Structure 1
Amino acid sequence: MANEETGFAVVDVETTGFGKGDRVIEIGVVLLDHRLRIVDEYETLIDPERDLGPTHVHGITPKMISMAPSFSEVAPAIANRIGDRVTVAHNLIFDERMLGQEFGRLKAIFDPGVGICTLKLTKQKLPAACQMLGVEPPKHHRALADARASAGLLKALKPQCVWHPLKLGGVPGEISVRTHRRCADEGTLVLDRLLSRVIYTEGDTRLLQYMDLLDWVLDDLVLTTDEQQHLNFLAEELSLTAEEIASAHEQYFQAMVVGAKKDGVITSEENVALNFVAKALGIQSDRVPAVTEAQCDCGDIPHGASICFTGTFVDANGHKLSKAELEKIATDCGYSVVSSVTKSKCDFVVAVDPSSSSGKAKKAREFGKPVIASQQFLDQVQR
C-alpha cells in the first residue's frame, strides 16, 4: 500500500497508434494530493518526429505540432510531475506502455509501480463512466480533457486498493516549461490556472512559475487585458524585478524560436506567431526569424513526374486511403512512384499536410522538393 501522503498523477496520452514503433503526440496530466485535491495540470502536444497516424481520430494535424517540443524536450518536466506519484488512467495499461516506451527510448528507468485503472473499476468507456458517476464528460480524444474526466472518476470512486507510486530515474535533460497546446482552454479561468501553479511549486523557481503562466496565456495567440493583469499579479507576488521579467521574456521567446527552427523551416504561420509573441513580450520584431519556407505555387504536378507518398489520407467523407491506394492512383494516371526521397529521383512529395513532420517530408525540404497536400493531388487526378 502506498504511503498515505502519496499523491496521484492522472494521465492521458494521444498517440500515432498502438504499436512499439508508435509515439506519444499529446499528453495531459492532472495532479492530485493524497486528499484528492487537484494541485496542478499539465498538457502539451508533442512532435513524434514521424507521421501522425490517424489524424481523423485524434484531430491533431501536422500544422498543430509544427512548433511542438519533442518528447525528449518535455520528458524531464513530465517526470518531475508523475514520478513518485500513483499513476491513474482510464485504460492504464495503454498509457503506461506508451509512456514506458517513450522513456525507454531515452534510456531512462521507468518502473510503473501499481497504479489505478478507472476503466477496470467502472467497466465502462470514459463517457459512459462519467455519466454513470455524475462526472463532467470529456471532449473525447483531448488528452487533458480525458485526464480531467478520469480525475473526476477517481474522486467519485475513492478506491480502496493496494497501489505503489511510479518511479523514474536517469531522465536526461533539464526541466523546461515550454509546451504547445491545441488551444487555451476557455473553460478554465486564468486565475484558476494561476492559483493551481502557485500551490504546486515543488522544485520550481520564481522565474519558472512566471514563464509557466506566460505559456498558458500566449498559447492561443491572444493576450487579453485580464491575462496581462494576472501576469502582473504573479510577477508582483513573486517579487520579480524588471530585469528578471525581461530575462523570463527572453528565455520564453528563445524557446519559441527554437521550436520554430527545429525542422529547419520557418513557415508563414510560425512567423506570425513569433511576431505576436515578440510584441506581447516587448521584444524587437527584427529579432523574429524571417519566413524560409518555399511557398509551393507549383500548380498541377506535371505528367510523368516522380512522386513519393507519405502518410495515410482520409477524405471529407471519412474514407481512408492508404499509401498503397494513393500510389496505384498515381501509377494509373501516368506518374512514376518512388519509395524514397532523393535529389535526383523524386520530383514531388505528397503528404496529408504539407507541414508534415515525417522523415520523407523533412528530406524533401532539405533537397528543396515541393511537398503538396494529398487533397491537392486527388483534386488534380479526379478532374
Structure 2
Amino acid sequence: MPGPGFAVIDLETTGLFPGGHDRIVELAVVHVDDHGLITGRWETLLNPGRDLGPQQIHGIRSADILDAPSFAEVVPQLVELLAGRVPVSHNARFDSGFLFAELEAAGVELWQRPEFLCTMLLARDYLPGSGRALADCCDAFDIPLEGAHRASVDALATASLLSAYMAADPNTSLWFEALERASAFGWPPVPDVVVTHAWCARPEAVAEITAATFLERITRKLPEFAGPAEQSEYLAMLDRALIDRHISATEAHALVALAEELGIDRSTVVGLHRRYFDDLTAVAWADGELTEAELADLVAVADLLDIPTGAIGTATDASRWVAASASADSSAHRFALAPGDLVVLTGEMSLPRSAIELELVSRGYTPWPAVTKKVALVVAADPDSLSGKARKARDYGIPVVGESALWGLLGT
C-alpha cells in the first residue's frame, strides 16, 4: 500500500454545532501505518476562549485549559500530522465538521477537503448486527476503552478498531484507494501564527490549588516598598477569592499578578495569609463560642492558605481569642448577599437555570442577564470559566463562585 498511512482523530467539544459558538476543547491524533500498526500519538487541550459547555461529559475543567494553546496555535503541527495521511474518526461527520470549521476559522483555505474514513460506518460491513457506538465496536474486538470521552483514549481505541478492521480484511481495495487519495491531496498553506503555548495534555490527576501552588511565583523583593494600602488591597482580593472556600486557578493567577503589581514580597504574602486567618478566627470567637461549623471553616481556610498546623490548635483556645474578638468587626471576611442584589448565572449548571433563578427570586435576590458594575455575584458552572460574563466580572472585581458556593451562601 502506498503512502505513510492513517491519522486517527478524536475531539472533545463545547457542544454539538461546529462553525458557530461551539469549539474544540481537546484534540488527539494517532498515526497508524499502512499495515495497521500504531506508530505515534499526540494530544492537547485547547483554549476555546469561552466556557467549556457540558463539562460533566468531557470532564475538562477551565483550570486545565488556562495555559493550553488556542486551535490556531496548533494548526501548523496538526497539518503536518495529517499531511499525506487518511483522516479517520468514529462518527467522522461530527469530528470532520468541527475540524474543518476550526481550520477555516484559523485561516486555512480548504477549497477541497480531505476524505475521512469513518469506523462507525465501516462497522456495518465488519460488525453487522453490532451497535455503532465506539464502546460497542471495541467490545466486539475486546479493545479496551477505559476513560471514554477523553480524546486520547477515544483516538487510541478508534486506531485499534481500524487496525482490527484491516486485519480482518487486509486485501480489500478500500484501504489502498483511501491511501491513494490521501497521497494525492494537497493541504493548503498554513497562516503564520505566533505560538505562545505548547501542546498541553490533560492532567492525569486534579490537585486542589492552595497557597503553596502559587507562592513560589511571587518574587522575593529586597527591599520591599509596599505599605498598608497595598496590603489591604491584596487582602481584599484574597477575601473575594475565598468566598466559596476554594481558590480557582484564575484566582491564583490574579493573586500572584496583584502581588507583583503592588510590589508585595513573598514573605509578606505569607504574613498576610496568617493575618487573614487570625482575623477570621477572631470573628468566629466574637460571640464567645466556636461552633463545629466555624471550626470546620477555619480548618478549610487554613488548608487553602497553608497555615501551620499549630495555628489551627491555637485557634481553638478560647482564652486567647474571646478578648481579642471583642473589637473584631463581625462582618469581616463574611461575604453575604443583600436583599435585591443582582446575581448573574453563566454556564451549564447541574440544575436548569430557570430553577436556580426561581430560587434566587424566592430568597429576595434578582437574577440578572448581563454583568455590570452593579452586579454583586456571578455564579459559574466552573469558577475558572472563560465565558464573557466571567471575564467581565473579573475585570470589575466581582466575585465568581461555583454553583455549590451559591447554595452555601443561600444556606441550603
The two structures share one fold, judged by TM-score above 0.5: yes
Whether contact under 8 Å (2:340, 2:366) holds in the other structure is yes
- How many residue pairs match? The answer is 277
Give 3-state SS (helix, strand or coil) of 1:363's partner: helix
The secondary structure found in structure 2 opposite 1:350 is: strand
User: Kindly tell me: are residues 62 and 298 of structure 1, through their superposed partners in 2, closer, same or farther at Cα, counting changes over 3 Å?
Assistant: farther
Distance 2:367 2:85 in 1: 51
1:122 aligned partner: 123
Gaps of 5+ in 1: 186-220, 222-264, 273-285, 315-320
1:13, 1:95 within 8 Å by CA — same for their partners in 2?
A: yes
Contact 1:350–1:377 (8 Å) recurs in 2? yes
SS in structure 2 opposite 1:347?
strand
In structure 1, how many angstroms separate the alpha carbons of the residues matched to 2:115 and 2:161? 18
| Aligned match of 1:82 | 82
Cα distance in 1 between the residues matched to 2:394 and 2:189: 35
Residue 105 of structure 1 corresponds to 105
- Structure 2 length-normalised TM: 0.61
Asked if 2 retains the 8 angstrom alpha-carbon contact of 1:77 and 1:176, the reply is no
In structure 2, do the counterparts of structure 1 residues 130 and 53 end up closer, same or farther at CA, with 3 Å as the change threshold?
A: same
Q: % of aligned pairs identical?
A: 34
Offset from partner CA, 1:81-106 (integer Å, 9 cap, x none): 12331101111111000111111212
Which residue is equivalent to 1:246?
Answer: none
The CA distance in 1 between the partners of 2:196 and 2:81, in whole Å, is 12
Give the secondary structure class of the aligned counterpart of 1:12: strand
- Alpha-carbon separation, structure 1, partners of 2:135 and 2:391: 38
Q: Secondary structure at the match of 1:64?
A: helix
Which of 179, 200, 206 is equivalent to 1:180?
200
Structure with the largest fraction of helix: 2
Name the aligned partner's letter for residue 400 of structure 2: V
CA distance in 2 between counterparts of 1:143 and 1:270 reads: 30
Residues 1:171 and 2:200 are matched in the alignment: no
Distance 2:255 2:87 in 1: 39
Contact 2:378 2:401 in 1 (8 A): yes
User: What is the alpha-carbon distance in structure 1 between the residues aligned to residue 196 and residue 392 of structure 2?
Assistant: 28
**2:222 maps to what in 1?**
none
Which residue of structure 2 lines up, in the alignment, with residue 142 of structure 1?
150
Structure 2: tracts of 5 or more residues without a match? 125-131, 206-212, 214-248, 257-264, 271-304, 306-332
Secondary structure at the aligned position of 2:65 is classed as: coil
Relative to the length of structure 1, the TM-score reads 0.65
* Structure-2 separation of matches of 1:9 and 1:270: 40
Q: Which residue of 2 aligns with 1:11?
A: 9
Equivalent positions of 1:313-332 (< 5 A) are 313-314=349-350, 321-332=351-362
Question: 2:346, 2:390 within 8 Å by CA — same for their partners in 1?
Answer: yes
One-letter amino acid matched to 1:103: L
Larger Rg computed on CA atoms? 2
Residue 92 of structure 2 corresponds to: 92
The answer to whether the Cα contact below 8 Å between 1:348 and 1:371 also exists between their aligned partners in 2 is: yes
Q: Calculate the aligned-residue CA RMSD, in Å.
A: 3.0
Structure 1 letter corresponding to 2:155 = A
- Whether the 8 Å CA contact 1:107–1:170 is kept in 2: the answer is no
Contact kept in structure 2, 1:64 and 1:182, CA below 8 Å: yes
C-alpha deviation, 1:167, in angstroms: 5.0
Measure how far apart 1:176 and its partner are: 7.3
Contact 2:3-2:85 at 8 Å conserved across structures: no
Give the residue type in structure 2 aligned to 1:377: L
**Would you say the 8 A contact 2:347–2:382 is kept in 1?**
no
